[in-house]
C-alpha cells in the first residue's frame, strides 16, 4: 500500500519491520489500535543480521506455531568447543533440551511476522524511510520518504524498532545507545560445503578465536550453515572479519566450505537501557537492548518486548492517555519479564570474557565428566559454578 496524501494520521506508527517491530504492530492492531508499520528496505527480512537460531519454547510463548516455510533446520543438540579443541556434546539422546529449537530462514520468517501483523489490520509500508520527527500536542509528526515521495505521518504513539543504532529513540531524547564495551561487532557467512560432525547440532567455539564473544556454526541444511562470530572491538585491534577468515581456514568443518552470503552488524549485549519509554514513545527489540548478553540472541526477547509494547500502546490509545506516566507500564513489565535474567547473564558474560584459553580448556575437561540432566543457558552456568571455585566466588549468589 502506498499513500498519496501529504499527511497520514494513525494511532500507532512502528518504525522498523524486524521481528520486534512486527510483533509490536501485530499486538497493537489486535488490541484495537490503528497501526502503520514502516520499513526502509524493499524486502522485509533482507539482508539478515542474525545467526537465525530460536528456541521452540520461546516461539510457543509468543503463540507462534512452527511453519516449515521458515524452519531451515530443527536442532537436536549442542556442541561446545574449547580453544584446544576439547569438545562437550550435549544431545537429546543424552540430556533433556528444554531450550531446543530451530534455525530460521529469516528472510521468510520476518515477512511471515509482518504478514501476521497485516492480518490483524496493520498497514505496511515498505521502502519507507523515517527521516526525522517532531513532538507536538498530538504525539509525533514523522517525516518519511517513500518511492520518491516525501510526506508526514501523525502518530499518537511511535514505537522505535529500528535496531541497535536507533535514530528514532535519539530523536525523542532517549539515551538507549549501548556503550562501546557493550556492542559486539558480528560478522557471518552463510556457507555451502560445511562438513559438520553432526549437522543437527549447533556449535559454539570459545576463547581467543573471538575475543569478548564466541564463534558459531548453525546448520541450515546437510552441508549449509551460518558460520560467524562476535567480538568486542574494545579489546582487540583486529576486525571481526579478520577473525572470521582466520577461523574458517583452520576449523575442520569449514576448511572446504565456500561463502554465498555475508552479513555484518552490531549486537548490543549490555542489557536493557535505563529507560525504554517517553511521552508518546516506546522502544523495542535491539533498539532497547532486548538481547541476551551471554548468547547475543535477541529474536525471542525482542518479539516479547514488541508484544508487550503493542499491548500497552493499544491500551493507551483506548484510554486516550499516551503520557510518559501511562507508557511507563511497558518498561516495568519488560524489566519484570526479562530484566533480572539479563542482569545475571551480563555478569556471566563479563566473567567469561576475562578467562584465558587455558582456563576455558580446563572447564571443558571438567564438563566432560559431568552428567547433565538438561541443557539451558542457566543450567550451563550452574555447572560452571560447580567445577570452578573462581566462578563460584563470582557467580555463586546469582544462580
Q: What is the pLDDT of residue 1?
A: 46
Q: What is the pLDDT of residue 3?
A: 55
pLDDT in tens, 266-307: 999 999 999 999 999 999 999 999 999 999 999 999 999 999
Dihedral sign, CA of 178, 286, 291, 79?
Answer: negative
User: Does residue 284 contact residue 290 with C-beta atoms inside 8 Å?
Assistant: yes
Q: What is the pLDDT of residue 98?
A: 66
Q: Tell me the whole-structure pTM to 2 decimals.
A: 0.94
pLDDT in tens, 348-366: 999 998 899 999 999 999 9
In 10 A of CB 377, how many CB atoms? 16
Residue listed under C-alpha cell 540472541: 297
CATH architecture group of domain 7-48+107-177+270-349: 3-Layer(bba) Sandwich (3.50)
In 10 A of CB 327, how many CB atoms? 23
Q: What is the pLDDT of residue 389?
A: 85
C-alpha cell at 162: 529500528
Q: Judge whether residue 97 has pLDDT over 70.
A: yes
Average pLDDT over residues 171-183: 93
User: Does residue 176 contact residue 301 with C-beta atoms inside 8 Å?
Assistant: no
Number of H helices, E strands in the chain: 11, 18
Amino acid at each position: 500500500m502506498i499513500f498519496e496524501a501529504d499527511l497520514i494520521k494513525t494511532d500507532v506508527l512502528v518504525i522498523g519491520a524486524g521481528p520486534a517491530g512486527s510483533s509490536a504492530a501485530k499486538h497493537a492492531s489486535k488490541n484495537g489500535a490503528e497501526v502503520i508499520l514502516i520499513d526502509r528496505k524493499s524486502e522485509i527480512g533482507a539482508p539478515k543480521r542474525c545467526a537465525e537460531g530460536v528456541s521452540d519454547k520461546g516461539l510457543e510463548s509468543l503463540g507462534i506455531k512452527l511453519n516449515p516455510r521458515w524452519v531451515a533446520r530443527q536442532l537436536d543438540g549442542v556442541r561446545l568447543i574449547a580453544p584446544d579443541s576439547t569438545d562437550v556434546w550435549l544431545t537429546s539422546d543424552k540430556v533433556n533440551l528444554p531450550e531446543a529449537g530451530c534455525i530460521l530462514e529469516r528472510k521468510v520468517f520476518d515477512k511471515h511476522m509482518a504478514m501476521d501483523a497485516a492480518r490483524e489490520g496493520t498497514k505496511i509500508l515498505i521502502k519507507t524511510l523515517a527521516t526525522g520527527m517532531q513532538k507536538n500536542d498530538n504525539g509525533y509528526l514523522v517525516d518519511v520518504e517513500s518511492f520518491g515521495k516525501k510526506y508526514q505521518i501523525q502518530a499518537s504513539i511511535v514505537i522505535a524498532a529500528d535496531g541497535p543504532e536507533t535514530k528514532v529513540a535519539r530523536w525523542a531524547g532517549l539515551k538507549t545507545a549501548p556503550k562501546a564495551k557493550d556492542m559486539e561487532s558480528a560478522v557471518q557467512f552463510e556457507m555451502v560445503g560445511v562438513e559438520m560432525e553432526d549437522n543437527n547440532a549447533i556449535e559454539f567455539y570459545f576463547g581467543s578465536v573471538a575475543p569478548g564473544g564466541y564463534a558459531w556454526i548453525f546448520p541450515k541444511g546437510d552441508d549449509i550453515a551460518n558460520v560467524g562470530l562476535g567480538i568486542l572491538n574494545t579489546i582487540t585491534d583486529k576486525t571481526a572479519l579478520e577473525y572470521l577468515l582466520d577461523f574458517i581456514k583452520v576449523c575442520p568443518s569449514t576448511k572446504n566450505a565456500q561463502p554465498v552470503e555475508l552479513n555484518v552488524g552490531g549486537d548490543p549485549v549490555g542489557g536493557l537501557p535505563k529507560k525504554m519509554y517517553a511521552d508518546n514513545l516506546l522502544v523495542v527489540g535491539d533498539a532497547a537492548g532486548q538481547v541476551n548478553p551471554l548468547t547475543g540472541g535477541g529474536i525471542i526477547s525482542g518479539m516479547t518486548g514488541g508484544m508487550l509494547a503493542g499491548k500497552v500502546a493499544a491500551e493507551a490509545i483506548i484510554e486516550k492517555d499516551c503520557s510518559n506516566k501511562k507508557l511507563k507500564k511497558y518498561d516495568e513489565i519488560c524489566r519484570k519479564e526479562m530484566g533480572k535474567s539479563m542482569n545475571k547473564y551480563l555478569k556471566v558474560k563479563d566473567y567469561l570474557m576475562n578467562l584465558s584459553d587455558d582456563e576455558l580448556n580446563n572447564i571443558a575437561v571438567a564438563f566432560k565428566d559431568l552428567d547433565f540432566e538438561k541443557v539451558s543457558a542457566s543450567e550451563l552456568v550452574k555447572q560452571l559454578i560447580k567445577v570452578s571455585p573462581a566462578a563460584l566466588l563470582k557467580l555463586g549468589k546469582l544462580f
